[in-house]
Structure 1
């Protein structure tokens, strides 16, 4: 990827000789044929700058991302210097509480019912307008509130602890110390490179994907998710029902829908 954001003239962009020459050779001929004036005249830049997302991410060191289409509704952390493609949804939050709420069964059930499906595998598609923007977060832990404002809330702390533990366990499985070595990136501000220690490690690491992990769903992963779901249930005030096993998927969806409608009525 070559990102010339902020370099609005060819003269400015051409100071970076190697990437500019590559774009001149591989990108410009096609861009001169498109109808879109912006893409044609600013051929060295992205068609869409993503300036709103860049602004939202600028004070953060990490962001929450999820694939637009995926067999499982998975959320991961990524460094903000990474540019998400149009196949990825990015959430401009860096707190474990938001990460935990999004990765709970409550948001998963909501997103599956209100999202769409795509492809031969009929995989769920995450559509932010219907799945994220409509989702009723626990009261006082909504995304319009700065994370610092609820940092002392015991509910937020419980969710954050469970979410951080889930992420730690998954990362240890994806990139175990006996298989990888971490090499500092030459450009400051970017995450370390994770490299296999040898050919055998490289072969093993190819199988260590989140999809494969959730296909097998080992007991430790199940326990970590249950701890997270319980913390989020407590934040909604539904913890006793969750522990009693009375919160079926349909019941969760009904309660979330009632919250959605109540808040919509209060805003109107």
Structure 2
């Protein structure tokens, strides 16, 4: 059996998108945004079977559509956002109709960020992510994803920030990708650790600001030494 590269014509793609975003109300506290996009792809290749004397040309055509709608309300202390998204993909092969697929990925959810009067900030988001039309039934899933973060800043100019972050609280996140070319369509599910908690301690300092910056840094260190007893022991994440 002999294999060799061959020149081929007919591979091309094109796409476009548009978006619109505007504030609502006299103070523009409300905001609405919409975006739409799509593309068309044409993949050409050759297929060779053991019982064929020559290669057979094969063409796969795919159409993809993506659209989102968002609505939000924001003040200095509170931010609330609602979001939704739909992704549609259609793939057709001229040799193997069984490989043709129509898939839908859609999601909707909400986000919240609130800063308390004493400076603590709570950030959380929750959303439903769904898939339909994939070859294997276990890939047609509904995933409720919930993340949260709590942070507080201390010292002068909020130089020290302590942040507790929890990702995928319900443990439902997966990662599925789709790849399409002239000869095959591949749906892949990747295993990874998406559910975790993390405690971060962030200290900001300026070493490029000259003597004034050094004085400010010394004040922060003095405040750190004086306030350490109030914090107690510092722990890690899980």
Say whether the fold is shared (TM-score over 0.5).
no
User: Which structure has more RCO (C-alpha within 8 Å, separation ≥ 6)?
Assistant: 1
Range into which the TM-score falls when normalised by the shorter chain: under 0.3
Higher strand share: 2
| Structure whose CA Rg is larger | 2
Higher helix share: 1
TM-score (norm 1): 0.17
